[in-house]
Amino acid sequence: MADRARTLRDVEDFIGADIKLPPEGLTKGVNAMYTSKPTTADPIPYAVFLFGNGMILDVTRMPSANDARLTVEDSDDDDGLAPWTEKLEIAHRTARAHDRLDVAPSWDSSGNARPGTGIRTGNAKIMWAEGSLVVTVKYTDWSRLPLVAVARSLSVTERRP
């Protein structure tokens, strides 16, 4: 569940970060901003920005900086996924990036899907940790390459209490 946010300041105050959005030339402007309604079942707060070109920015506050780091690094160890994951620098942080990926399943003699096959990711994505925040930029039709300029043009800085 989410509420539509009225202003960028409302989103920043909710998520506890200062956010500088990418220029409109890269995104065609913000169509909508949403903030989650944390519940007992889903207590992790997040904010989502929907841009005019279909790109999405997701900022999620994890319980700790370590949780954020592990969320970003998790795909490095997944069998079959790591070869498609590239590390790059975004805002002096190590980000993980991958293209939209569709790999047809391949079956072994026992009828089990071979690791690294039958994978379909719905979007190209770049994600990194900023303190206890996980920042994700994604788009369904692009490769990760155009997203690099967008990711490098935005700024998300966690506010310290």
Give the mean pLDDT of 12-32. Answer: 94
Residue ranges of the domains in the chain?
2-158
In the predicted model, what is the mean pLDDT of the chain?
A: 85
Q: Taking a C-beta distance cutoff of 8 angstroms, is the pair 47, 13 a contact?
A: no
How crowded is the C-beta side of 154, counted as CA atoms within 13 Å?
28
Residue 16: pLDDT over 70: yes
- CATH architecture label of 2-158: 3-Layer(aba) Sandwich (3.40)
Radius of gyration of the chain (CA): 17
Residue 70: pLDDT over 70: yes
List, in order, residues 6 or more apart from 104 with CB less than 8 Å away: 117, 118
List, in order, residues 6 or more apart from 116 with CB less than 8 Å away: 79, 80, 81, 83, 103
Split at pLDDT 50, 70, 90, the class of 41 is confident
Of 160, 108, 95, 106, nearest to 132 by C-alpha is 160
Kindly state the percentage of the chain with pLDDT values over 90.
45
* Predicted local distance difference test score (pLDDT) of residue 120: 61
**End-to-end CA separation in angstroms for the chain:** 27
Residue 40: pLDDT over 90: no
